[in-house]
Structure 1
Amino acid sequence: MNSEFGSVWIPGSVIIGAGPSGLAAAACLQQEGVPFLILEKESCLASLWKLKTYDHLKLHLPKKFCELPYMPFPREFPTYPTKQQFISYLEDYSKHFSIKPMFGEEVRWAKYDATIGLWRVQANDSVFVSRWLIVATGENAEPVLPEIAGLMEFGGKILHTSEYKNGADFKGSKVLVVGCGNSGMEVSLDLCNSGAQVSLVVRDKLHILPREIFGSSTFALSMWLLEWFPVRLVDGLLLLCSWVILGDTCQIGIKRPEIGPLELKNTTGKTPVLDVGTITKIKSGEIKVVRGIQRFTTRGAEFVDGKVEEFESVILATGYRSNVKSWLMEGTFFNLEDDTFPNNWKGKNGGYSVASTRQGLLGASIDAKRVAEDIARQWNSETKHLNVSNFSHCISTLSHGEQKKNSQTFCLL
């Protein structure tokens, strides 16, 4: 840690990330009367949605399960809002709650300083100091690039889905999509609808469910059924309905895991795919399912079954991962007291996490409320016994030795 940086005292909490999770946390803290500051490395809010998603993306779940705390979606929005509608909702949300992140502030490191009982967060040329730290960067901070033999020798175009916008540039070309989660399935469908010749790599077993079952959201139906029946029985009902609506996916080269979709989600975090039309294209032969890749060649790929095929482009739908471990200077993620859902939102020493429970936007909203309520209890208790001399002592301790190097310590209200 560089002691030459100035220290900025933040009453309340520092929130890292101005995506849906950070905005939800900020709004909930505001409702509880706790001050905060949001640090965001990009120049806009919801940067993942604005900069790294494809044009035709829609919310996978009905809007009522994706709204942030204290503000519903506009009534005129469809059941499954588009990417642009969701972005406009987030912008309106920020305006409604007067949330003003500090943009262009990339966090270099964050560490709990036990000597003063505060968190220190270096972003660019400043060190922000606060009693509480909320990590709201989510699980999709960095694209995952797979290590596949020969990938760098492939002579065609290689894109991660974070760079993919639409299929206009791929019309008539042969495209290999690597990854068969929701993104891989939807990008394959988008490419197919744009006139590309698409092959989809399906290496592992996976569950594919219809997005709706007889006119009702599969997710909503699942949540309702779980109130009355055990997980395994609900899984059985979902798989039966899926077989009726989608047919036997084994017949199109997609085998299902032995564990049911909800049980698999609860135990491993692996989300079932919600089909929006890709299965129909696979059945018609417009999208071809291929096995796992053995290695890439300069002009295509060799698959584990020995087949070799040429492609002009490769789209890597291989997902994202959190980057928290690269800047959070702790032995484990917050040294969580209980790292099992739904208790992995709270760490030690005033550290919290929003949207790390693998429960999507609904989980982020639940986390945000829990975090804000927990911080508010401490805020209301501690501020009753806190006076200016306490703050002065903390700041004096913090800045000791720094002022000699022309650093400054100030309070950002």
Structure 2
Amino acid sequence: MDSCKLPQDEHVQEEDLNTQCKHVHFNGPIIVGAGPSGLAAAACLSEHGVPSLILERCNCIASLWQHRTYDGLKLHLPKDFCELPFLKFPEDYPKYPTKHQFVAYMESYAAHFSIRPLFNQFVIAARFNDGLWRLRTAADYEYVSPWLIIATGENAEPVMPDIVGLDKFGGKIVHTSSFKSGSDYQNERVLVVGCGNSGMEVSLDLCGHNVIPRMVVRDTVHVLPKEVLGLSTFGIATVLLKWFPLKLVDKFLLFAASLTLGNTDDLGLRRPKTGPLELKNVAGKTPVLDTGALSQIRAGKIKVMEGVKEVTKNGAKFVDGQEEEFDSIILATGYKSNVTSWLKSAEFFTKEGMPKVPFPSGWRGDNGLYTVGFIRGGILGTSCDAIKVAQDIAHQWRAIKKQQAQTCL
């Protein structure tokens, strides 16, 4: 089982070791994914006295954060909005913790709640059969449990765009999941495809290394200030939503953006007609929080380009007729869920791998199926999901224990 060891828990028993597939029966819920969502779910269950087992495909917790984020990344939201349940960030952490600080926080979180995931357990199939969930991994293990918590989230796999001629490009092509630092592209001609938070921040990072990136804006985008009068824009919106309707809060955000950022249309960044919060809820499209990229666009250090018509061997042709040569292409095209690739009979999910049940009820399915981290609410939403899931399973757990105790009598 590679370097993994089964947790020494009375609820786990291993059998049929001489067969090709080794079976592990677990009386508590099985969690798929050891990122923030999986850790939060395990911690909340632990607070109710319910044991859980986490299966993680990589060799560490929070693998997306550790292996698929660039070195200079910082949390977009203040730390108060990014804490997992029952454990605060260290007091000496800055308002916006770095990637490395957040990873250290999650490692301390796992240690605090004695969470020991089973690493290198890539789930290739999960199905509900005879009243139990059966999860098969690439390591030839089958894990069996009454409950399945999917905590792989909405950002499990990179999205690779379908661009004509991309396979003909003679230079380097990377997704932002493989981008580490602009120092790797010093003095190069770089095309960044995508203008979300990743595209903006990667372009900004490149500016500091003698690169004038071309950033492709293929669609409309909401760009909001990271802070207004020293206060987090997200924090302000969260407070206002308690008192005012969403569309009114959207109007406030756009007014604040206009005052602090000016007219982004003049920079080639056209705003959608739908407000930023409404668009996030309806389409899952997150507004960009400006961390300095707009000033670099105004200064001409980031060039905004229209959509790519075709990639050539040496560069790209754009829809407005321009053509330029590039040494590298960075795809800032986001991530997607991978649930439908391994969850069999996944009627609960759309073809995009998101719950069909609308917010706020998308955390619970049928037959002991649960999700954490799929409501497009960031880490704050993850915490809310984890608390609800743990409460629901704990209620069933206590009922089962009570029934067992009565049977023994």
TM over 0.5: yes
**Are residues 1:360 and 2:375 paired?**
no
Distance 2:326 2:149 in 1: 44
- Corresponding position of 1:289: 304
Alpha-carbon distance, 1:388 to partner: 12
5 Å-filtered alignment, 1:151-190, equals: 151-190=166-205
Amino acid at match of 2:362: N
Distance 1:254 1:133 in 2: 42
Alpha-carbon distance, 1:386 to partner: 3.1
Distance 2:243 2:191 in 1: 43
Alpha carbons 1:138, 1:354 under 8 Å: kept: yes
Alpha-carbon distance, 1:334 to partner: 5.7
Distance 1:385 1:62 in 2: 45
- Corresponding position of 1:397: none
Distance 1:334 1:139 in 2: 12
Distance 2:405 2:134 in 1: 21
What is the TM-score normalised by the length of structure 2? 0.92
Alpha-carbon distance, 1:385 to partner: 1.6
Q: Percent identity?
A: 55
Distance 2:347 2:156 in 1: 18
- Cα deviations by residue, 1:283-338 (Å, 9 ceiling, x for unpaired): 01000000000000111100011111111110000111111111101242369997
**Are residues 1:379 and 2:397 paired?**
yes
- Corresponding position of 1:76: 92
- Corresponding position of 1:120: 134
Amino acid at match of 1:198: P
Amino acid at match of 2:324: E
Amino acid at match of 2:135: V
Q: 1:31 aligns with which of 39, 44, 47?
A: 47
- Corresponding position of 1:344: 362
- Corresponding position of 1:369: 387
- Cα deviations by residue, 1:240-291 (Å, 9 ceiling, x for unpaired): 1111111100111111011111111121111100000000000010000000
5 Å-filtered alignment, 1:9-408, equals: 9-113=25-129, 115=130, 117-123=131-137, 124-333=139-348, 339-386=357-404
SS in 1 for 2:29: strand
- Relative to structure 1, the CA distance from residue 252 to residue 330 in structure 2 (aligned partners, 3 Å threshold; closer, same or farther) is same
- Relative to structure 1, the CA distance from residue 230 to residue 334 in structure 2 (aligned partners, 3 Å threshold; closer, same or farther) is closer
Aligned residues: 386
Where does the alignment leave 5 or more consecutive residues of structure 2 unmatched? 1-18
SS in 2 for 1:8: strand
Distance 2:116 2:51 in 1: 12
Larger relative contact order (Cα-Cα within 8 Å, sequence gap ≥ 6): 1
SS in 2 for 1:385: helix
Alpha-carbon distance, 1:217 to partner: 0.2
Distance 2:188 2:86 in 1: 46
SS in 2 for 1:330: coil
Distance 1:383 1:91 in 2: 32
What is the TM-score normalised by the length of structure 1? 0.91
Alpha carbons 2:373, 2:379 under 8 Å: kept: yes
Distance 1:85 1:244 in 2: 33
SS in 2 for 1:386: helix
The two structures, once aligned, show a CA RMSD in angstroms of 1.7
Distance 1:338 1:327 in 2: 17
- Relative to structure 1, the CA distance from residue 387 to residue 130 in structure 2 (aligned partners, 3 Å threshold; closer, same or farther) is farther
Alpha carbons 1:334, 1:347 under 8 Å: kept: no
SS in 1 for 2:40: helix
Distance 1:295 1:386 in 2: 65
Where does the alignment leave 5 or more consecutive residues of structure 1 unmatched? 391-413
Distance 1:129 1:42 in 2: 20
Alpha carbons 2:213, 2:301 under 8 Å: kept: yes
Distance 1:240 1:268 in 2: 22
Alpha carbons 1:334, 1:348 under 8 Å: kept: no
Alpha-carbon distance, 1:4 to partner: 4.6
Distance 2:140 2:406 in 1: 26
SS in 1 for 2:27: strand
Alpha carbons 2:26, 2:144 under 8 Å: kept: yes
Distance 2:390 2:97 in 1: 27
Distance 1:90 1:72 in 2: 11
Distance 1:71 1:387 in 2: 33
Alpha-carbon distance, 1:79 to partner: 0.7
SS in 2 for 1:122: strand
Amino acid at match of 2:316: A
- Relative to structure 1, the CA distance from residue 240 to residue 82 in structure 2 (aligned partners, 3 Å threshold; closer, same or farther) is same
Amino acid at match of 1:330: S
- Relative to structure 1, the CA distance from residue 26 to residue 181 in structure 2 (aligned partners, 3 Å threshold; closer, same or farther) is same
